[in-house]
Chains A and B, each alone.
Chain A
Amino acid sequence: MGTPQRDVKVNYSEVQKDLLIEKHCAFLIGYGRSHNTYEYGATDYLRMSGIYWLCTCLDLLHSLKLIDQEHIIDYIQKCYDKNSGGYSPCPNHDPHLLYTLSAVQLLVQLNRTDLIDKQSLCSYIKQLQQDDGSFIGDQWGEIDTRFSFCAVACLKLIDSLDTIDIDRATNFIMSCLNFDGGFGCIPGAESHAGQIYCCLGFLSLVQRLDNLDLSTRNMLAWWLCERQLDKSGGLNGRPEKLPDVCYSWWVLASLKILGKIQWINREKLSKFILASQDDETGGCSDRPGNIPDPFHTLFGIAGLSLLNTYDENIIRKVNPVLCMPEYIIQKLEIKMQLL
């Protein structure tokens, strides 16, 4: 028979089966106010993304009105770095492409793109592009395909994609392609569902998915659908790993871009996400029984949205490439390629 599959045991007769909307909203709002807790305080280095997870999740649950939007806009502006044109995760921290994307996504979502200095933002992103087409995350030179995605996603949201050299940027992404059809963080690095999402998202935003030939796309979609584990129904991010709710997003969104979401068992995945809710405090954790956080709450809810588990009146439709509510993408008339 061989080695049994690594998985977690979920007792499906006892777990949460209903979506706990009110509890999730309370959890998310409470999180944003819990400044004196360790979990909140010690994650200041990624705060801007944290706020994006919170707001996007609330928006998907039709509850963005529950938070103080002015306060958030104020915060974003405090994180703007005039010298570089980028945004930091927290006031006084350094700007970085990762948090610049979160800030731009937030400003778009809060309908305040008027606050973006487009020209500075474009030149900030442009100067991070390297000769080989890759992007560094900040002036210190770390390269990662996540940063390529951040660069094009930011530019797409402000309708300025032609700022950068797209041919070269695409060549770099393609140089990260692996034997299994997936992508890693740099050329040579192993495929990982998060990285695959970034690279497919990149190709979708620049409308170059055709760079992947049919056999590669099929290989990749097969690899992605094999991320679903038999017993728990959850998805992992790499072979032989445990399931994790955030991969409901990275893997599902990738399958959606490839037009192959029907290759997994959607009902089983929905159950796994619902079982990962914390029925005491609200929020979702990485897997049933663990501590919930805003990151997994967003990706759980966004996953349920892609799975169409609930009506749009309950969870809004999410855009699979930008992980933002689809109505905003429609309003901005942002086009991307989906197979």
Chain B
Amino acid sequence: MSVHGQVKVRTSAEQKAARERERAEKLRLYSTQYENILNNRQLMDSFNLLKQTENILVDHPDCFTLWNIRRESIVKLENGKQKEYLEKELQVTQMCLKSNSKSYSCWYQRQWCLKQLKEKFNLNLYQNELELCKKYLEYDERNFHCWAYRYYLLERLCPSSTSELEPFYENELSFLRSTIGINLSNYSAWHYRSKYLDKLLDHNPSHRSTLLSTEWQLVLSAVYTDCSDQAAWFYARWLLFKQLGIQLISEDEHIKPLEELDELESGNKWCMLALCQLWKGKTENNDKRINYLEQLANRIDPDREQFYRDQI
């Protein structure tokens, strides 16, 4: 019903028929097993249900009803067994994530298990889970399910005492900085930086101007390394106009370095647009601003012509 990223290979009638036969057999197995579970849901015991649903889920982790059946089965178990199966479930979900690391239901099952283990058995596995996330992010640095799950874990690991909060946030920001460092265009890492920077600013308002200056230096080093790094440019706009605000933008700290970059990387649309936004409201730069926007619209990035015209 919904296929992503599968290249179509045109095949001979014979190959096609053989493939169809193989797939038909796979489907027959899937359907019989599935029907058997659904029809006997109320009759089968938990262990049997857990075994049978696992067989299907390893290849089809999006079958959410089967995860529901597993949860029903697990909560029915007596305490000792329940804990054992909740822990086993972490292995099952990991196997399923191998077949689809973007399965919403599977990531949620994992989250649900951790919560049960914590609330019912006082077993806190959140810290260990960060390791799993690291592994998945090494495999796919943009997996948004994994990033969101990681954020969820960190929210639960967040210390309650104020004195520990600052090092906690700083620790995360340095993790994100190293992630940005591996691949300068890791948009996900920039996104989470914005979240932790916000938290740190709320926590420590007196350090606001130092924090924002350090952050601006990071943005500058990113755009000086790769002037087309869009993640850094989206972040720059937020930092300049939502965090600093027009009154705190300074000629020397913010505008000059970008003007210099513009000279080095003449015709870079991101840098030109950022300058146009910084020059807005400054009469001495108005002609240049309009000239840049016209260049962008007519020549440099004509696909977004109307966007640039609307900025004039």
Interface set of A (CB-CB < 8 Å, partner B): 1-3, 5, 31, 36-47, 49-50, 53, 88, 92-94, 96, 138, 140-142, 144, 178-180, 184-186, 188-192, 215, 219, 221-223, 225-226, 228, 230, 233, 238-242, 244, 260, 262-265, 268, 278, 280, 285-286, 289-296
A–B complex contacts, Cβ < 8 Å, 23 sampled? A3-B226, A37-B27, A39-B1, A39-B3, A46-B2, A46-B62, A92-B38, A138-B68, A140-B112, A142-B108, A180-B238, A189-B148, A189-B151, A190-B192, A215-B241, A233-B303, A280-B10, A285-B3, A286-B3, A289-B8, A293-B1, A294-B1, A295-B1
Q: Does B31 contact A (CB under 8 A)?
A: yes
**Nearest CB of chain B from residue A291's CB, rounded to whole Å:** 5
A46: nearest residue on chain B (CB-CB)? B1
Complex CA distance for A49 and B229, rounded to whole angstroms: 37
Complex CA distance for A327 and B165, rounded to whole angstroms: 55
Q: Does B104 contact A (CB under 8 A)?
A: yes
Q: Does B163 contact A (CB under 8 A)?
A: no
Q: Which of B256-312 contact A (CB under 8 A)?
A: 302-307, 310
Binary contact track B210-241/A, C-beta < 8 Å → 1, others 0: 00000000000000001111110011011001
Binary contact track B100-138/A, C-beta < 8 Å → 1, others 0: 000011001000100000000000000000000000000
Q: Does B177 contact A (CB under 8 A)?
A: no
Q: Does B92 contact A (CB under 8 A)?
A: no
Give the residue of A2, A50, A53, A244 whose beta carbon is less than 8 angstroms from that of B229. A2
Complex CA distance for A295 and B6, rounded to whole angstroms: 14
Q: Does B147 contact A (CB under 8 A)?
A: yes
A226: nearest residue on chain B (CB-CB)? B230
Q: Does B65 contact A (CB under 8 A)?
A: yes
**Nearest CB of chain B from residue A133's CB, rounded to whole Å:** 18
**Nearest CB of chain B from residue A199's CB, rounded to whole Å:** 15
B9: nearest residue on chain A (CB-CB)? A291
Stretch from B44-52, B183-191, B201-209 that touches the partner: B183-191
Residue of B112, B230, B231, B305 contacting most chain A CB atoms (<10 Å): B230
Complex CA distance for A19 and B153, rounded to whole angstroms: 48
